[in-house]
Structure formats: C-alpha cells, structure tokens
Amino acid sequence: MRHLLSIADLSKTEAISILDTAVELARISDGTVKKLPTLRGRTIVNLFAEDSTRTRISFEAAAKRLSADVINFSAKGSSLSKGESLKDTALTLQAMGADAVVIRHGASGAPQRLADSEWMQGSVINAGDGTHEHPSQALLDAFTIRKHLGKGAPDLHGIKVAIVGDVLHSRVARSNVLLLNLLGAKVTLVAPPTLLPVGVDSWPVNISYNFDEVVASVDVVMMLRVQQERMTDLFFPNAREYSRYFGLNADRLSTMSPTSIVMHPGPMNRGLEISADVADSARSVIVEQVANGVSVRMAILYVLLAGQPLEVGGK
C-alpha cells in the first residue's frame, strides 16, 4: 500500500490491519512515553486547501507521536490562495523532500491527481476531497464502533448503522458506506430525498425518509453536518422543519436501544442536526471519535511509511 485515496482501494484484511495497528498504537499512547521513534527523519506535509480543525491537528499529532517532521501548509497564507496550481505546489513539496502529503482539497479527485502524477514521489493521503471521500474519518469511525460494539470480533459483522442527514454533500458518508459494508455492517441512509445523491440506489445500503422508523432498531446513529457552505439551492424548507424530521434530539434518543451510540464527525451544528443535550449525553462518543482519530491516523502513517502493520500483541 503506497497511498490512501479511497476506501475502495482497501481489502478487508488491509482495513482490519489498520484498525488492529491503531489498537496497538493507542495502547502505547496511553503509556507515559507517548512518542515512538518509528518515523524519525521522515517529513510529512499537511496540505490543507480547505478549512479544517480536527483532521489537520489530528494528522499533525499523529505524525509527531511517530517522531516525523511536520510541515503545515494551508491555503490561507500560502501561494495556493494566489492561484498556484496543484502541480507547482507538488513540485515544491517534492523539492522539500516530503515523504508523505496529507491533502485536503475542495476538488473531488485532487489527491488522486497528485498520486498519479510524476510531480512528487511520496505517499498521498486523502484527508477529504470535495464531496468524494474521507477515508481516515471512516477508519476512525469503524475503530470507534468496533471498540464499543465489536464484542471482540475483528470486523463489524451484523452491526446496524444509520447515517442521517446531508448525505448529498458528505464525503464522510461515502467513505463510511464503503468501509462499513466491507466490514459486514448493515447501513441505512436516512435523509430527505433532496439530500440523497443521484445513483444512491446502487449503493450497498437501505434508504429511509423516516428517521423515527429507523432510530429504535439500530446500534449506531451517525449524524451528518448540514453543509450549508456547499448548498447552492434550497434543500429543505427551513431549519425548524429539518430538525423536526431529521434532527437527533432527546425524544428520539430515548427511543434508541440502551447499548446504542451516537456519532458525529464534527464540526456540529448544535440545534440543527443534533441537539446540544444529545451531543453532550453519555450515549455520545463524539469526543472519543476525535481521540481515536489520532491513533487511527498514526496507524495509517505507520502502515504507509513504515511499510508494515504493527504486530498485534507486540511491543
């Protein structure tokens, strides 16, 4: 494995080995010495051409815990905002000796373009491209689900997951549908018809327009942010209507199974897709997703740059 561009590039065995490696790395990170020497002397560039908080700092923390040198490069304050092309940016990164580039970009396919090019030799990791994919988010979500509901199994066989809300604009939903399906979970998408993409009928999912009919029967409710910045049309009548039919509030939470969990990739629109009390409730694993993100991204960097999964049970 040289790049991580899409969940579609992973076999089930590769996905599970990233999750297992993350478990081992989390165990080490819980110790007093958080840092491993594994990637000492390697350079990782975070190239963020679109805004991000948690994904960028998560990759930065992951790289630093593996002792890599990290260069942060964001659109604001760089020549990207002056219209520099991806090619010229990539040539600069190559000249600086980047071993890996973690790229977030507004254009779907930008990471693939970089990986396919001759412009730079390093590994390319997709940290979210347009509305296409966000594979590291799906892996950290799978890690979190497995930890809570996996009962020791390596995969997510039979676990029922509802992904709710703005599927149309969500790269998180696309990567999660692929990975959850690969790992044997059963996915139901819940959204108004206007927020489902064309072609969704061919995805390996069930589809529902009625949240109340789904919420009580699933093990995981994964809420999606309403991505107002990507909305050029009116996709629902108003925020109140949206919350009433597709928001997760305390009433809906009370109908969920007692062992079920609530997830959200962040950033949240509190009061729109999720109420503040639900976001902060004992059933919510949203903050834990962020913490797990660091271990999972360490595992991704480890597998790509150190070249092998960490031996389970090893030191």
Give the type of residue at 60. Answer: E
- How many residues sit in the footprint of ligand NCD (CB under 6 A)? 11
H/E element holding 162? strand 160-164
How far is CA 26 from each of CA 92, 114, 257, 264, rounded to the nearest angstrom? 34, 30, 28, 21
Q: Choose, by CB under 6 A, the member of 56, 225, 252, 297 that binds ligand NCD.
A: 225
Answer yes or no whether residue 144 interacts with ligand NCD by CB under 6 A: no
Q: Binders of ligand NCD among 168-197, rule CB under 6 A? A: 171-172
What gap in Å lies between CA 217 and CA 215, rounded to an integer?
6
The CB-of-227 to ligand NCD minimum distance in angstroms stands at: 6
Q: Choose, by CB under 6 A, the member of 29, 46, 55, 275 that binds ligand NCD.
A: 55
Helix ranges (DSSP H) in 209-249 = 211-215, 239-246
Q: What angle do CA 283, 30, 71 make, to 5 degrees?
A: 100
Residue 20 or 273: the one with the smaller Cβ distance to ligand NCD is 273
Answer yes or no whether residue 265 interacts with ligand NCD by CB under 6 A: yes
Answer yes or no whether residue 123 interacts with ligand NCD by CB under 6 A: no
Residue 120 or 179: the one with the smaller Cβ distance to ligand NCD is 179
CB-closest chain residue to ligand NCD: 225
What gap in Å lies between CA 15 and CA 5, rounded to an integer?
13
Under a CB-based contact definition with an 8 Å cutoff, are residues 19 and 303 in contact? no
Answer yes or no whether residue 266 interacts with ligand NCD by CB under 6 A: yes
Return residues touching ligand NCD (CB under 6 A). 54-55, 128, 134, 137, 171-172, 225, 227, 265-266
